[in-house]
Structure 1
């Protein structure tokens, strides 16, 4: 088994690498190749416990995804994310469960609802990969990514409730609501505690290798402790990732540069293995189909698949229309409140960025999604690792008879593979046909970057003015001329990483360290401007991260130049 796991990992990564090289959706390619490989005679059956698969794969994947999600965008799109991540999962689970019970009564109603909970949550890994490749607007990517962060928590909570009922527990609707509330509160609290601790470590420990190692381990701890205390391990990892990701720009740049490729590699390894494992289960699923029940189970699988495909758009469009109607009602109440003088811009919380009436009004509105955006979101419902792993875990429930437990695994597998192939292969075509692209983002980004550069120049001038007084007390007229030339270049061209070397030749030996300090101080000012603009909702967080990466590269070049200086040059 150990050798088999290694071969699967290596093979999956090779196939994924080929897919990335050719520009194909790597998760889909890995799944198809694994499906074909499952029929090879020398490929043994790879059987993993569903709980083990969830505990090993889900925490790092969720944490990595949460690190990359814009917290500001997540908060702004939270109503849309909540509708998809909670209510759509509940409706899908109920609809799929009822259909499954009518077609296959041997499942019993709790068993059918358990199956509904298993197939309810989409996995946005492949959808996000396709969206990034085709340049989907951030408003869509934020909703899809945010949905994938919380829908697993809803699904796994439902799974626990119905598994407990099957095991003989007597639970009411209020008991289920209490379990869900407990899962949310405990999960979020545990995640925030772990996030605060990890952030403090990142702020105080200067070794990026150590911090990166802790980053790999902590998600498993947060997930396990939250689950042990009755909370949602998924929400714990998500809350921790959102907190750490939001505060990542405040840590040392070497930490950010270390962890970015680390998590990209971990994602590639884990995602490749998961989709390879899904494909390799095909032969086993076929062997579990009995001759007498094969058509019955295939009918059940087709019906559940149809429900999964149809419920999503049938829910999204009416829910979006209702949300827009409620939004218009909120805005009318807000306009009346402003007209009546009940909002005073001069009364602001101390220590918080000032908020104007227009900004408050913007917070009452959801990011605009048109019918094309909703069409893409409706078709981006591919299932993945959570569906398959919970189905395998359900097969171990002793109270489930063999027939229904096999049926749950088979249906979950068919729904997972069918949605991956059907929706995954046609989603790019849909995106191209509808013309949904990020052109508007590019225009807004260009305007935001121009505004940030203007603010950076103003902040830089104030910083340089204060530093000029310091230099004036230490150096003479020749050095101050060099300072003025250096300052002029910094305020004119923000990304000139060669400026230190050019000015250095004209300066006396003691000045180089001051020059480096001046450069780093200027970089610090620019970072603070970016953070202030993000916190004031003037700059998209993803754009801020791109600009922060450019500043990090400048500081790395500065440090590298200093480390490689010859001893003879001061």
Structure 2
């Protein structure tokens, strides 16, 4: 309870910085990190220690789960090769490169400890990269590859981290047992995620209560993660697989459940992402104080480690994703600009800091874990350096190379065709129903107009912009109806204030008006 005021202040401050960054058009992750760095040296503020258990059990699972819910399983399957090469191959390659650099440059650091550090800093966190890419309109394939990489690479890195830590602390891990741990983590995580997703989907379909379905959904990422970890599988991979399974079956849920789930998880995402990047910045004073008079030496090693990680990602991406398609001639080579953007999106995140903080204090023999402070400092340095380097330059790189998505027209055309077919099916169904029983006068015509309006709205997106031809009929209809809804809302509020209707009546009517306005604004 003593830490509750600090926690509430951290949440409130993170949201305030996020709101200001959005208002000023700044990158939210970078703004939060920079503000956290400054705040960490304010004398009268308390230290915010990064608790690895909180990050790995309470923050990481819901962030991965919501990302998986919103991902395209078809897109991931179509890009399985590049995602696998990045999420598995690149993580292990980066672990080796980072470990060898640290072993070579940090006096007294053994190869085993250096490989622990390599595993800690190996996985990029694509939250910042995807937020920049979404804002600048990156092609969907690049977004799918980056998102897919970020969903799986934490599982690979954390498994490599456990193997390396076990070897250092003396629990007798061999190369063969490490490979077995990897296999158990991957297969176990996959099976746990599929089983949990299947069970949750069946249970939710039997509930028939949107509120209870959403409440159950809130438990899924935490329960699935814990279940995976309990059987020594990858809890991270289990959460991702469960999220992909349930995300694909979202259309089978009740409409109220979908609305509630979307609102709840978007709010949770905003809060947790703000907290994560604020915590990264707030660790500066703690890790600097931990290394004492070795600061200068470790800063040099930190620059070398960061450069090595950046070069390792570039080398891996170009040799595994670009050259094979260019040399084989069996498929159209990927545009080099797209490959460069993927190679430059290597920002590290809070998982690296949490893993570094979770390193045991002592070995099995009771001795202090060697070079623990140096590992934590270098992990923080690499995380901060890559966030600032890539975060500040990635928007410029995307604009300079002209990497833009071209999916807007094809999406609009596909939507218009689907809307046309859907409207035809709806009107056929309406004709069947009206043959069975004639509705009151005017109802049929009104329903037909609603269906036609929805179809026209989709086709209008294929035409010229409003700047060229002026406001379309659908846009005028939407704008005027939103104003009419606002006028209705004002009347109901006035009646409540005059005690002519009860608050419960107002809430019910406001909910109906809000749903109608939300549908109009989403359109």
TM-score by length of 1: 0.76
Q: Distance in 1 between matches of 2:245 and 2:284?
A: 39
Structure 1 residue runs without a partner (length 5+): 332-364, 498-552, 561-570
- CA 1:259/1:559 → structure 2, altered by over 3 Å: closer, same or farther? closer
Among 378, 399, 414, which residue is 2:381 paired with? 414
Residue matched to 1:385: 350
The CA deviation string for residues 91-135 of structure 1, in whole angstroms up to 9 with x for no partner, is: 010111111111225221111111000000000111111111111
The CA deviation string for residues 244-285 of structure 1, in whole angstroms up to 9 with x for no partner, is: 111001111111111112111111111111111111110112
Matched, 1:296 2:297: yes
Residue matched to 1:442: 408
> How do 1:219-234 residues align onto structure 2 when only pairs under 5 Å count?
219-234=221-236
Structure 2 residue runs without a partner (length 5+): 458-511
Q: Distance in 1 between matches of 2:33 and 2:41?
A: 13
- CA 1:480/1:263 → structure 2, altered by over 3 Å: closer, same or farther? closer
The CA deviation string for residues 216-251 of structure 1, in whole angstroms up to 9 with x for no partner, is: 222111101101101000011001111111100111
Q: Distance in 2 between matches of 1:419 and 1:258?
A: 36
Among 451, 465, 469, which residue is 2:435 paired with? 469
Measured after TM superposition, the shift of residue 425 of structure 1 is 1.0
Q: Distance in 2 between matches of 1:159 and 1:25?
A: 30
Residue matched to 1:424: 391
> How do 1:514-533 residues align onto structure 2 when only pairs under 5 Å count?
none
Q: Distance in 1 between matches of 2:326 and 2:169?
A: 43
Q: Distance in 2 between matches of 1:559 and 1:387?
A: 39
Q: Distance in 2 between matches of 1:39 and 1:156?
A: 31
Q: Is the 8 A contact 2:423 2:455 kept in 1?
A: no
Among 371, 394, 412, which residue is 1:404 paired with? 371
Q: Distance in 2 between matches of 1:281 and 1:20?
A: 24
Among 252, 258, 261, which residue is 1:259 paired with? 261
Q: Is the 8 A contact 2:126 2:146 kept in 1?
A: yes
SS of 1:106's equivalent?
coil
Residue matched to 2:143: 141
Q: Distance in 1 between matches of 2:102 and 2:123?
A: 17
Residue matched to 1:349: none
Q: Distance in 1 between matches of 2:82 and 2:424?
A: 38
The CA deviation string for residues 374-405 of structure 1, in whole angstroms up to 9 with x for no partner, is: 11111111111110000011153546746610
- CA 1:278/1:484 → structure 2, altered by over 3 Å: closer, same or farther? closer
Among 280, 283, 293, which residue is 1:281 paired with? 283
SS of 2:154's equivalent?
helix
Q: Distance in 2 between matches of 1:313 and 1:442?
A: 29
> Alpha carbon RMSD of aligned pairs, Å?
2.6
SS of 1:309's equivalent?
helix
Residue matched to 1:321: 322
Q: Distance in 2 between matches of 1:467 and 1:38?
A: 66
Residue matched to 1:13: 15
Matched, 1:394 2:359: yes
- CA 1:267/1:397 → structure 2, altered by over 3 Å: closer, same or farther? farther
Among 162, 165, 172, which residue is 2:164 paired with? 162
- CA 1:118/1:252 → structure 2, altered by over 3 Å: closer, same or farther? same
